[in-house]
Each structure stands twice: as C-alpha cells, then as structure tokens.
C-alpha cells in the first residue's frame, strides 16, 4: 500500500552517531570538539527547516557521544523548532524509568520537542560497561521495553518481572505537558514488529544495508497487526545512511574513504569481509545508501517513502571520518535542495 496521506504528513530528519572526525591536519579531532560540532550541525538543520535531529548512543572510541540527552539539551537552548531525539537509546543497558525522566526533562527544556527512539543498539559495549550480561540480552530488552511503554502512559506504574525488583505504583517526574514522543528502533524481525504494535510504540526501521524494498513484508505485518488489535494507526519511520554533494561523482568521492574505513573497522570486529568499491557503488545504486547529488538523493527518498509507506525518513548523514565541513554542506543541501524536491514529487503523486 502506498502512502496517500499527503506530503505534509511525511517528516524528514537527520541522524548522527557523533563519529570522530578529522581536523584540518587530517588527525582525529578530540571527542569534545566533535560534540561541539554536532551541536553546530543541529543548529544549521533547525535554521533550514529540517524537522528532526537524532543522536545515537555509543560507548567506544570511534564515536564521541555516550550521553545523547546531554548534547540534545545543549541543542535545545540554541534551536526553536527541530525535534530533539535519539538514534538510538540503548534501552537494554539503561533504566527505563530514568530514560523517561531524562527525556521528560529535555521535553520541558525544549518546549515539547523531545522524542526518544529506544532499541537494542547495534553495539554491545554498554553491557559489560554497566554490569549487564550478554546472556540476558533478550530478556533485558523485553522487560525494559515493557516498563518503558508503561512510562509513556504517565500514570502510576506497577510491574513485576525477573531482572529487577517489582515496581509498586511508581510516579515519575516531571510529567510532560503533552506526552513524550517515542519510537522503537527495529532492524527487521517479525517479533520486533509485533512487539512494537503490542506495546503501542511506533516503529522506526533501521535500514542500513540491502534494498529498502525488502522491508515491505514487515510494513505489511505492522499495518495488519494494528488492524487485528483494533488500535489507532501508528506512524512508521525509516533511517538510512547517506551523503549529499553537488554531483553524484563528488558525493561518492567524499564518502568512499570514510565509508570504507568505518566498514573495515566494524566489519573486522564482526567477521565481515572488507568492502570493495563495487560493493559501495552497488549499495548506492540498489541498496540502502542514499548518496549522490540532491536530485539523485531526492528521487531515491521519494521512491522509498512511497514503497514503504513511511511517515518519517531520517538520513544518517555522519558516516565515519568525514570532515565536519563536508557534513555541514550535506545538511545544507538536504534541507534546501533535497527535501523541497521530495515534497514536490509527493505532492504530484496525490
């Protein structure tokens, strides 16, 4: 089923993990400077009308941000309209009650602009860091997500499970003025889709490799499960990596080396083969990498918004050791060239 709700209903955002970036001398910047750069990137995004900005949580030396809510608080003080979110908050190694309280506080600071995307995360460093066992990976997420979904109702919480003491009528503070916006990040499994609907927390698809259209069966399951459970329609989002430059050739030239080095480092940790340039081009032309000129990226976003019937598209614009200046240019083009073109095409499709 295609999206027929109109162009104004589709939101567009940006995501970053706060990747460590190079300075003018080619050496890695200090993480503190990277964090300050992320704030500047969000300020630019707000100034050109991008609707949402998400920051991922990591606990390793190739990413600068371990506490997204703190960085988002700084961004809140310098922006007016952009939504302030995460991509993602690693709920399995956090306390869902504290997650709610932190983001309810951010919501107050940002005048109702906070949102949180909770998930398992694609890295596991936080488990040993905070004293959790990887053997408990599944039960921790299942139970903590259940608790987190209860916090969003903003009423006394009563819960019993296996990983912590019972919760007997807990009241969390501060309450939000209009509710806390939340999503659950899903990598693509039927169980995750059904969990999202069962708990009433909208799904954000993390599409980071392969053709996005292969996720269509999960979209169908998401829509069907809502009908079967008789719940109001829930929004659907997707998140994918990419980079925008003035031409396709320039975008590929700027992205290839940071992409290659990033994939090599992570891939060797996980037993993946090193990427080839042919793999890179294939991922741009047929897969989940949204890289190219404004027109090329706009066409690809439009096609996938329609195919997957999504209400929100987030571009992960930071991809490894890419200079801050190139990312700022990518953000500028995304907001001023790509999104107006996507909205024009969506409007014509009605």
**350 residues of the chain, pLDDT tens digit each:** 333 344 458 999 999 999 999 999 999 999 999 999 999 999 999 999 999 999 999 999 999 999 999 999 999 999 999 999 999 999 999 999 999 999 999 999 999 999 999 999 889 999 999 999 999 999 999 999 999 999 999 999 999 999 999 999 999 999 999 999 999 999 989 999 999 999 999 999 999 999 999 999 999 999 999 999 999 999 999 999 999 999 999 999 999 999 999 999 999 999 999 999 999 999 999 999 999 999 999 999 999 999 999 999 999 999 999 999 999 999 999 999 999 999 999 999 87
pLDDT of residue 128: 96
pTM: 0.96
Can you tell me the distance from the alpha carbon of 63 to that of 57, in angstroms, rounded to the nearest whole number?
A: 9
Homologous superfamily of 7-349 in CATH?
A: Luciferase-like domain (3.20.20.30)
pLDDT of residue 4: 39
pLDDT of residue 242: 98
Cis peptide before 349 (omega within 30 of 0): no
**Which tokens in the block code for residue 339?**
């999104």
Can you tell me the distance from the alpha carbon of 101 to that of 156, in angstroms, rounded to the nearest whole number?
A: 14
Can you tell me the distance from the alpha carbon of 161 to that of 71, in angstroms, rounded to the nearest whole number?
A: 33
- Angle separating helix axes 190-199 and 137-151, nearest 10 degrees: 30
Q: Residue ranges per domain, the chain?
A: 7-349
Check residue 274 and report its DSSP letter. P
Spatial neighbors of 86 by CB under 8 A, at least 6 apart, are 54, 55, 56, 57, 68, 69, 72, 115, 116, 117, 118
Q: Which of 241, 221, 226 is nearest to 17 (CA)?
A: 241
Report how far Cα 156 is from the mean position of its chain's Cα atoms. 29
pLDDT of residue 177: 98
**The 3-state secondary structure of 128-184, one letter per residue:** HHCCCCHHHHHHHHHHHHHHHHHHCCCCCEEECCCCCCCEEEECCCCCCCCCCEEEE
Using DSSP, state whether 247 is helix, strand or coil.
Answer: coil
């Amino acid at each position: 089923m295609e999206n027929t709700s109109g162009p104004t209903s589709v939101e567009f955002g940006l995501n970053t993990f706060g990747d460590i970036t190079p300075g003018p001398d080619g050496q890695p910047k200090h993480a503190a400077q990277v964090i300050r750069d992320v704030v500047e990137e969000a300020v630019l995004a707000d100034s050109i009308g991008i609707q949402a900005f998400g920051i991922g949580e990591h606990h390793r030396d190739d990413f600068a941000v371990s506490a997204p809510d703190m960085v988002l608080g700084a961004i809140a003080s310098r922006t007016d309209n952009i939504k302030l979110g995460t991509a993602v908050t690693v709920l399995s190694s956090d306390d869902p009650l504290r997650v709610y309280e932190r983001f309810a506080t951010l919501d107050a600071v940002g005048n109702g602009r906070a949102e949180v995307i909770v998930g398992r995360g694609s890295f596991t460093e936080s488990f040993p860091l905070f004293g959790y066992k990887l053997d408990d990976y599944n039960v921790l997420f299942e139970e903590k997500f259940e608790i987190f979904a209860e916090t969003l109702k903003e009423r006394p919480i009563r819960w019993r499970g296996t990983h912590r003491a019972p919760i007997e009528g807990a009241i969390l503070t501060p309450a939000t003025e209009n509710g806390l916006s939340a999503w659950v990040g899903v990598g693509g499994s039927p169980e995750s889709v059904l969990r999202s609907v069962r708990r009433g927390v909208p799904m954000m698809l993390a599409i980071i490799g392969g053709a996005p259209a292969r996720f269509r069966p999960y979209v169908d399951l998401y829509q069907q499960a809502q009908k079967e459970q008789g719940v109001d329609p829930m929004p659907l989002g997707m998140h994918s990596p990419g980079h925008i430059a003035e031409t396709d050739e320039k975008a590929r030239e700027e992205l290839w080396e940071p992409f290659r080095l990033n994939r090599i480092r992570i891939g060797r940790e996980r037993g993946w083969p090193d990427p080839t340039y042919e793999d890179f081009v294939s991922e741009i032309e047929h897969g989940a990498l949204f890289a190219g000129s404004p027109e090329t990226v706009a066409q690809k976003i439009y096609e996938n918004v329609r195919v997957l019937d999504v209400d929100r598209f987030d571009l992960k614009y930071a991809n490894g050791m890419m200079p801050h200046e190139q990312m700022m240019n990518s953000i500028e083009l995304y907001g001023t060239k790509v999104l107006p073109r996507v909205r024009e095409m969506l409007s014509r499709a009605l």
